[in-house]
Amino acid sequence: MTGIDDLPIRDELRGKSPYGAPQLDVPVRLNTNENPYPLPEELVARIAERVTEAARGLNRYPDRDAVELRTELARYLSRTAGHTVDHRQVWAANGSNEVLQQLLQAFGGPGRTALGFEPSYSMHALIARGTGTGWLSGPRNDDFTIDTEAAVAAIAEHKPDVVFVCSPNNPTGTAVTEETVLALYEAAQAARSDRHEHGALVVVDEAYGEFSHHPSLLPLIEGRDTLVLSRTMSKAFGAAGLRLGYLAAAPAVVDAVQLVRLPYHLSAVTQATALAALEHTDTLLGYVEQLKTERDRLVTELRAIGCQVTASDANFVQFGRFDGAAGSHAVWEALLAHGVLVRDNGVPGWLRVTAGTPEENDAFLDAVRAVTKELK
């Protein structure tokens, strides 16, 4: 049988595996940083209404520029993220993964490089590979914060075209300070090379921004034309199945991604559903508050059990510290045997658990207590 490698596939894709967390049917699934709360019934009804309306026009292509949706996303950001933006500064796509892909299609690509500080969201490197962008791995401190001085030095040395800063960072939960982002931005501005006369685009991936103890980094885009903030409705809005991500940046960045986006990339059904969800922002942000409380409880209780826990500003918690990669994998398997699925991100000695409902978190904590005894 023909395998992938028998095909005339691009060399850099040979022998690689696709991104994918296990989708296992177990009682407690806390492995993909989803929101555990289903959308409220009144929102489900409103989605049905708006989608019905959209369905009547499905013979036509959707609004290619998604202006109504971008206007409502801009309103949401202006109301909750400490800085006023309008729709010309906002762009939306099918999940923030697609937003990031469009950014790399426009600002990365063959002969260009992107740099991220690892461990971080593994899709940054994978989207780089998919777009033919070279990938550079920058340093972090032992506590998983960004070592600003080393990061600035890495940018100065490699002169990348795109710099990824994930805050709060997946999988560690660590938030990045405003000072660090500004220092990285300055370094990126200065990183001109023989190849190009421009600095690097800095992409702040704030997929988990709403869960942070700190305010959004959105205000930093003011006056900084190469700073981009990326967000998603997959986490705080509890709508991972919707596939809606967005960015906020200078209008020129929005113009640039329009050069590479596929025409009509956001279906009328997606736009209608996202608009319905945005009408229920306050209810959904109420769930975020509950999840933040549960996240903080997970941190406290895991520490009481004797685990090391990385300070978290996200809807998940990184815990350990187990005996290397084998140790963390053994604990991952033992938790699974207790019906609890967490994530082994390949950070040796550490695992990641998503904050679920109070009942799911109790089941997880009971399983950790049992497993720590079993594996002693």
Restricting to residues 212-251, name those near ligand PMP by CB under 6 A.
232, 234, 240, 245
Q: Which residue is nearest to ligand PMP (CB)?
A: 95
Closest approach, Cβ 73 to ligand PMP, in A, equals: 13
Rounded-to-integer distance, Cα 139 and Cα 375, Å: 32
Helix (H, G, I), strand (E, B) or coil at 369: helix
Least distance CB 231 / ligand PMP (angstroms): 8
Which of these segments, 70-78, 95-103, 220-228, 303-311, binds ligand PMP (CB under 6 A)?
A: 95-103
- Please select the residue that binds ligand PMP; options are 36, 95, 209, 356, rule is CB under 6 A: 95
Alpha-carbon distance values, 204 to 54, 173, 214, 219, 224 (Å)? 33, 14, 14, 12, 13
Burial-class residue 225 by CB neighbours within 10 Å (0-12, 13-18, 19+): middle
Give me 82's structure tokens: 């400490």
Q: Does 101 bind ligand PMP (CB under 6 A)?
A: no
Q: Percent helix, strand, coil in the chain (nearest 5)?
A: 45, 15, 45
* By CB under 6 A, residue 89 contacts ligand PMP: no
State yes or no: residue 205 binds ligand PMP (CB under 6 A). Answer: yes
The least CB distance from residue 96 to ligand PMP, in Å, is: 3
Q: Which is nearer to ligand PMP, 208 or 332 (CB)?
A: 208
CA 343-302-117 angle, 5° bins = 50
Site for ligand PMP in 121-180 (CB under 6 A): 121, 166, 170
Question: Taking the CB of residue 119, how many other CB atoms lie within 10 A of it?
Answer: 20
Residue type, 164: F
Task: Establish if 33 lies at the interface with ligand PMP (CB under 6 A).
Answer: yes
Q: Which is nearer to ligand PMP, 160 or 209 (CB)?
A: 209
Contact residues: ligand PMP, CB under 6 A: 33, 95-97, 121, 166, 170, 205, 207, 232, 234, 240, 245
